Each structure stands twice: as C-alpha cells, then as structure tokens.
Structure 1
Amino acid sequence: MPDIPTLPLPSVLPHSDAIKSSKQTKTDYESDCWEFQYEIHRYLGRITDDALRARYDNIVRNMHAIISDDRNVIPIHSFLSSWYWYRKEHQTRYEFALRNVPLHRPLPIVAQRDSSAAPARPRGPNAGDVLFRYGERKWLQNLMDFGRLRMKSAQEYALMEKDPARQDDERVKHSYSPGEYISLTMPDGLQVRPIGDLKYSTSGTDYFLYCVSMDWDSVLFDQFSGTDCCVVIKEPDEFARRLEHAAKNLLPGWYFHHCPIEYFDTYERRSKERIDNAMSKDFRFAYQKEYRFLFAGFGRPATGFIDLELGPLHDIAELHMRPEPPRVE
C-alpha cells in the first residue's frame, strides 16, 4: 500500500462522550485508520482522474473556509467538523497514490482565518443567528431601503452556467455507490455486478428559494459573480416573518421553511443519511455555509421567479461594502 504524508492535524479531539455517542473511538481520528477504511471501501475507485482532481480542489477550498478551532470538537461524521475535511482530503489523496497519479497541486497549508474585520460573526457553526446576503449594491441597497428581493424557482439555478458558485440543479440531487460493492439480482435470479457506479437521484416538490450565508468570509466576494457588498441580517427570525408575510398573497397555501443546508459527499453517503432535494447539497458547495428560505408548492409548479417587498430593513440589517485588500508595504 502507498505511504503518503498526513497533514498537520488538530491537537484537540471531540469530547470522549461525543466520540462514544457517535459509535467511534479515538482511532477513527488517525490517518492510518482512514487509509484502512478506504482500502475496505474504495468509493472513489471508478471516477475519472479529472473528477478526482476536481474533488480534491473542492475539498481544499472547503478546508480553508471551514476548519477552525471551534469545529475541532465536532465529531468526524459531520461536515461541520474540521476532522471530516481532514479525512476527506487524506482519503482523496490516497486514491491518487493508489492510481500512481501525481497530485496536481501542493499540499494545502490550513491557517486560521483573520476575521477581526468582520462586521458580525455567528455564535458558532451552523448557528444561523446572523445571516449574510452577498451581492451587488444596486440590488442590496433596494433590499435595505425597501426590502425588495427576488426568490428564484429551483429550476432557475440549473440555468446559471456563467455563475459556477450559484449553478446547481436544485430539483434533483445525485449520489453514487461503487459498483464493485453492489450485486444486482436479475428477474431470472442471476446475480450481476454493474460495470460502473450506481447512481441514485432524489427529487421532490418544486419550490422558490432565497439563499444567504451563515458567516462573513471575504472569499465569497470573489466567488459570487458581481458581488461588491453584503447585507448582514442581524435578526433572521424577524426577517423570515416579514418574508413569509410579504409572500402570503402571491403564494397562498404554500409551505414556508428556513434552515441551514445539509451538505453531503456524493460518493460516500453516511449510514441512513437522508438527502432532500430542497435542503441538501453536494459538499463541493460547503464553503458557502448556506442558509435558505423557501416556499414549497407540493404539486404546484414553481417557475421563473417572484419579486417581494418586505419594507425597510434598517432596523434588523446593515449594509457593508466589500473590504479593501490589505496594503502591501
């Protein structure tokens, strides 16, 4: 088996009770164990080299955005945990070594982000107690002054080909199981193995959505096309109340919901992990730390977009311009 280096890991583990409640041991936080687990279940064995490189790039981007001291104490099975991303990075790089394919980039150096200039921060991972809407000032000034916003239908996001940070098929979520570990029984009783990975697709009702982030991150100003400012929503529950009220005449009887997105690995599903077409996303987007507001039609079509007006938001939100890059002396 190949021998690959391990990135410097956190010195702090989750509490022993948290590890035990997750049916794990301290060994599950060691890179040797990650390699052993991967050899037993080589879930990336059949994806292309290009897909493997793209996956690694996505993981590294997420590591820079997500890993922090307060996430080191979250058990490894959760995408909110620093350990989750260290394990994903190591196992993906291990697949490169198993293929004898050189890594296309240097190993990542994960450093603590400087958030001292942030106008607000959440009280913890996935807290949702403060929200951030990144965008262009010409739109976000209207959001502040009049509460004007646009909720797009799920199908609209699949059409945003020139905006990769926003483009995603929000109607159907896909995941895969390695074909080599699956046996299919044909009508005549014959057992066969698929020649590729088995693809699962999860779909559901149409819906309109409005997306925000749960943290201030200067990187997101570059990721979202045209972004030059951010509205910081200091009272998310009150914002949600006004949003629901503004839409009641346009969408009578539609179900309103808001909560953080759950990110999942399309190639390694957790046992009994539930995927929802509206509230789950491919983990390549995890750096966005998305929180969304949605109206679900349950049989009624959601197409195009709807424009809403909530009224002025100055009492519950603030507008902040994109931070200036640090000066180089």
Structure 2
Amino acid sequence: MALFKYGEAKWCDKLAQVGGLRVGTLHDFRRDEHKRGIADPSEGTKSVHYGVDAQVFTGGTEQAKAFGEAFGFKFGPGVQLSIKGCAFNRQVDSEDFFIYCLASRFSGAVLREFEGADACVRITHVRRFCDAITHALESRVAVEFIGAHRVIYTPRHETWNGVDLGKHPALVKEPSFAPQCEVRALWRPTGGAPICAEVFESSDAHQFCERIL
C-alpha cells in the first residue's frame, strides 16, 4: 500500500532527495500559527456523553467498573449506586504524540486545501519509511512507534459505549475533513519530558519515497 505526502515543492524535493522532514506533535497542531488545512484547535480532544433515565450500578461488576473508570466514580463490592434522570459528560484529552501525517490516496482537490502545497511525494514502502523516521527520532529522544493509523472522521461528541472511552482522540477528526483520507504515523515519547516538533535535514526516509508531482 502506498501513501502520499502533500507539501510545498521545496520540502517535497528535500524529502524525496535526502529524507529531510519535520515530525510534528499532536498538541502542536492546535496552534493557529499553522497554515490552512493543518491547524485544528480541537486536535486530540473529544467528549463522551452518557444520559441515564434510570439505572443501578452494583460495585464489583464489570458494568460498574466500566462506568466508574469512564466518569470518575469509585464504589466498593456490593455497593449499589442508583441513578435517575442524570447526564454525564467526560472531556478526553489525548497524551501528546509525535505525528507524521500522510494520505491514503492522492487528490489534487485535497492538495489545494493545504495552504502553500503544490507538490506530492508517494511513500513506496510505508513500514520502512516509518522505521527510518523512528531511527531519526531515536537519535534525539526515546520513542515507541505505535503504528500508522487511518483517521476516524466522526463528531468529537460521542455517546458512551458502556465499555470504555471509545475511539482514541488522537485519531478523531470532524467529518468535514474526510476528503483528506488521512493516515497518521504516531510515536509515543517514553522519556517523560514534554516534546516539541523535530526537524531533520536528512534521514534514510528518502529511500522509500518518490516525488510524483
């Protein structure tokens, strides 16, 4: 499976020729300084809602455990919690990740949505491309690659599924972004310190991509 990277010609050339690239962070995309098509102040967030007409939770059951973990309740084995006519809402904010955004298909119309973008690189071997970025990141910070995942285009307000907090907020974007067909390569920092975007003048990533526009 090939993936695609949109960008300005000078940066696409640098990626394809010497592996020059910028690995951003999830929280960094919230800044409005980013260009149109990239900035999203809600990046990595969502809310989970649960409306209750009448329900009893019994401590020690899987149902009570799931409800407690989702909405912050603690009650011991056998303790009953009776709820009537209430609504619960949980704001979910993703931890920060290193992130490299790609697309699962090429679209000239989508390319034009990104301010300044006039070129495209095709990633010919996705796993090796991501491994090259992992190697570059590890030269500066401890990370764990957690995969390349398709973005889920759905409203950020979600009804509780009764089991857990549902879709990971790092992969949620509003349906209006769906034409982007985004795939996110994600790395979790393991050192405990705050992270920021990393820029690499070169890397081995160029071996696994080619400019097509």
**Could you state the TM-score of these two structures normalised by the residue count of structure 2?**
0.72
User: Could you say if the C-alpha distance between residues 244 and 303 of structure 1 is closer, same or farther in structure 2, counting changes exceeding 3 Å?
Assistant: closer
Deviation at 1:193, TM superposition (A): 4.7
CA contact (8 A) 2:96 2:188 kept: yes
Is 2:31 aligned against 1:159?
Answer: yes
Which residue in the other structure is 2:94 paired with?
Answer: 204
Deviations 1:149-193 (A, max 9, x none): 111122211013663421224764213548xx54599xxx78455
Which residue in the other structure is 1:311 paired with?
Answer: 204
Distance 1:161 1:183 in 2: 44
CA contact (8 A) 2:3 2:124 kept: yes
User: Could you say if the C-alpha distance between residues 184 and 143 of structure 1 is closer, same or farther in structure 2, counting changes exceeding 3 Å?
Assistant: farther
User: Could you say if the C-alpha distance between residues 278 and 141 of structure 1 is closer, same or farther in structure 2, counting changes exceeding 3 Å?
Assistant: same
Which residue in the other structure is 1:14 paired with?
Answer: none
- Percent identity between matched residues is 21
User: Which one-letter code corresponds to 2:203 in the other structure?
Assistant: L
Is 2:185 aligned against 1:293?
Answer: yes
Q: 1:245 aligns with which of 105, 111, 135?
A: 135
Which residue in the other structure is 2:145 paired with?
Answer: 256
Which residue in the other structure is 2:9 paired with?
Answer: 137
Q: 1:274 aligns with which of 159, 163, 166?
A: 166
Deviation at 1:212, TM superposition (A): 0.7
Q: 2:104 aligns with which of 208, 211, 214?
A: 214
Structure of greater relative contact order (alpha carbons < 8 Å, 6+ residues apart): 2
Q: 1:230 aligns with which of 120, 123, 127?
A: 120
Deviations 1:33-63 (A, max 9, x none): xxxxxxxxxxxxxxxxxxxxxxxxxxxxxxx
CA contact (8 A) 2:29 2:43 kept: no
User: Could you say if the C-alpha distance between residues 177 and 244 of structure 1 is closer, same or farther in structure 2, counting changes exceeding 3 Å?
Assistant: same
Structure with max Cα Rg: 1
User: Could you say if the C-alpha distance between residues 312 and 192 of structure 1 is closer, same or farther in structure 2, counting changes exceeding 3 Å?
Assistant: closer
Distance 2:113 2:128 in 1: 28
Structure 2 unaligned regions, length at least 5: 56-81
- Report the count of equivalent residues: 185
1:223 is paired with a residue whose SS is coil
Which residues of 2 match residues 1-329 of structure 1 at below 5 A?
129-160=1-32, 163-169=35-41, 172-175=44-47, 177=49, 181-183=51-53, 191-193=84-86, 199-252=89-142, 254-263=143-152, 264-267=154-157, 269=159, 271=161, 274-298=166-190, 300-308=192-200, 309-311=202-204, 313=206, 315-321=207-213
Distance 2:159 2:85 in 1: 23
Distance 2:194 2:181 in 1: 25
**Could you state the TM-score of these two structures normalised by the residue count of structure 1?**
0.49
User: Could you say if the C-alpha distance between residues 270 and 319 of structure 1 is closer, same or farther in structure 2, counting changes exceeding 3 Å?
Assistant: farther
Structure 1 unaligned regions, length at least 5: 1-128, 322-329
Between Structure 1 and Structure 2, which shows a larger proportion of strand residues?
2
CA contact (8 A) 1:206 1:300 kept: no
CA contact (8 A) 2:30 2:41 kept: yes
Deviations 1:252-277 (A, max 9, x none): 2x211222234133345584572213
